[in-house]
Structure 1
């Protein structure tokens, strides 16, 4: 009897395009890490749109990238060699430094405050 296995073709960056995209994202992650004294990250599903890679630099600056699939995102952070967290909470979330823009934007959205200029 032959062994059978179901393969999810969208799950792995097995094609050349997925591998190239992961390499490009890894380069961007590496650049962010170099500019901010190192970086840590977290990968989150975005549904059909792919996955979001949230990066937090050692200096508290943060940014994010979007990958076409979750597996491409995981391949990118693996290639970049950064620490990856399961969740964005606790000590990891406490490393994020927010400024006046983020606070005013959050207050404007949540409390009906003044909107940020376009």
Structure 2
């Protein structure tokens, strides 16, 4: 038994699966609200987090953060998201940006 298992008497795999299912529910909610399907990419954010970038069927984008790559990938799989290797090409073209994003991007470029 590992120290994590003995501390709580819950296997690490079971805990990870519960976390993945909890994140998957949020992804499924996003999917329902944005056209019934979504594409996604699981990306490392740093040592302690992974970001699941989502693009709904209507072009709206969002994200979820998971504590590990394995949990993020599992959550995406459980939710039925179509996973891509990178956020380029066709997936990037699906994203619809609003006036808010354009204004914010312009503000950042202009130092605002």
For normalisation by structure 2, the TM-score amounts to 0.84
Asked if 1:87 corresponds to 2:86, the answer is: yes
Tell me which structure has the larger Cα radius of gyration: 1
The superposition leaves residues 52-98 of structure 1 with CA deviations (integer Å, 9 ceiling, x where unpaired) of 00010010111001000000000101111110010101110011111
C-alpha separation between the residues in 2 aligned to 1:50 and 1:19?
16
Asked if 1:31 corresponds to 2:29, the answer is: yes
Q: What is the root-mean-square deviation in Å for CA atoms of aligned residues?
A: 1.7
The superposition leaves residues 20-59 of structure 1 with CA deviations (integer Å, 9 ceiling, x where unpaired) of 1100111111111111111110000012231000010010
C-alpha separation between the residues in 1 aligned to 2:65 and 2:109?
25
* Structure 1 unaligned regions, length at least 5: 1-12
CA drift of 1:108 comes to: 1.0
* Structure 2 unaligned regions, length at least 5: 1-10
C-alpha separation between the residues in 1 aligned to 2:16 and 2:67?
8
Residue 71 of structure 1 aligns with which residue? 70
> How many residue pairs get matched?
102
Give the helix-richer structure, 1 or 2: 2
After TM superposition, what 4+ stretches of structure 1 lie above 3 angstroms from structure 2? none
C-alpha separation between the residues in 2 aligned to 1:14 and 1:34?
30
Matched residue of 1:47: which SS?
coil
For normalisation by structure 1, the TM-score amounts to 0.80
Matched residue of 1:25: which SS?
helix
C-alpha separation between the residues in 2 aligned to 1:82 and 1:66?
15
